């Protein structure tokens, strides 16, 4: 199926913070596989720590951009549970998606899909929790506060969930790229011009 998705383009600010957060998280997850936490002078642990702080900066910027941008996904769609209308739209979108999958095909691509927005919102919450716990541990690890060990255990659990999200998110992006011909390079290029999609102006 070939579709003209030239108009599907996120704002430059969104693309930049998304790219920055993705790179920081990938570096953080990769170094976690080879580092020796707490070992003095371990270069991988140092890279892991500072990429985590960088992820905290980018995830904060991501929330700010999501709130103040004038185009793209409405921030309320990222967290739809507080609105009856958005919950209803999400439920309908889930039913449409399941119906399409039941017929062996992908659901029609919608830039403002309530389900996709909710999944992105959950991912952003997950990245926020992981980066926040890591940042908290970075600054409190040398203290004797009793809850610090709980913080690092929560950070490890969240990192495992981020692995799952990152793999699933990448798989879905590639699936849309190859099946529906939605060019990822066009959508996320930091140099291409953006044509404003219908919806928010």
Task: Pull the structure tokens for residue 32.
Answer: 């976690």
Task: Select from 18, 15, 11, 25 the least CA-distant residue to 162.
Answer: 25
Q: Which CATH class is domain 12-73+83-104+111-188?
A: mainly alpha
Please tell me the pTM assigned to this model: 0.80
Mean pLDDT across 23-51: 88
pLDDT tens for residues 113-148? 899 889 999 999 999 999 999 999 999 888 878 888
pLDDT at 136: 93
Q: How far is CA 151 from the centre of its chain?
A: 22
Alpha carbons 197 and 20: distance in angstroms, whole number: 23
Task: Select from 118, 123, 138 the least CA-distant residue to 62.
Answer: 123
pLDDT tens for residues 13-35? 888 898 899 999 999 999 999 99
Evaluate whether 103 touches 142 at the Cβ level (below 8 Å). Answer: no
Of residues 31 and 8, more confidently modeled: 31
Task: Pull the structure tokens for residue 102.
Answer: 């039941």
């Amino acid at each position: 199926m070939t579709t003209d998705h030239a108009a599907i383009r996120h704002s430059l600010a969104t693309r930049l913070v998304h790219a920055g957060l993705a790179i920081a998280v990938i570096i953080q997850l990769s170094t976690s596989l080879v580092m020796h936490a707490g070992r003095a002078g371990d270069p991988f642990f140092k890279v892991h720590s500072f990429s985590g702080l960088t992820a905290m900066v980018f995830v904060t910027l991501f929330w700010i951009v999501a709130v103040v941008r004038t185009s793209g996904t409405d921030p309320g769609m990222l967290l739809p549970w507080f609105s009856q209308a958005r919950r209803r739209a999400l439920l309908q979108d889930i039913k449409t998606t399941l119906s399409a999958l039941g017929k062996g095909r992908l659901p029609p691509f919608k830039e403002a899909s309530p389900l996709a927005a909710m999944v992105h919102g959950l991912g952003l919450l997950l990245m926020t929790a992981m980066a926040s716990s890591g940042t908290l541990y970075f600054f409190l690890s040398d203290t004797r506060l009793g809850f610090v060990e709980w913080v690092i255990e929560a950070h490890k659990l969240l990192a495992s969930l981020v692995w799952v999200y990152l793999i699933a998110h990448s798989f879905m992006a590639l699936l849309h790229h190859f099946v529906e011909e939605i060019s990822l390079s066009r959508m996320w290029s930091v140099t291409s011009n953006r044509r404003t999609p219908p919806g928010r102006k």
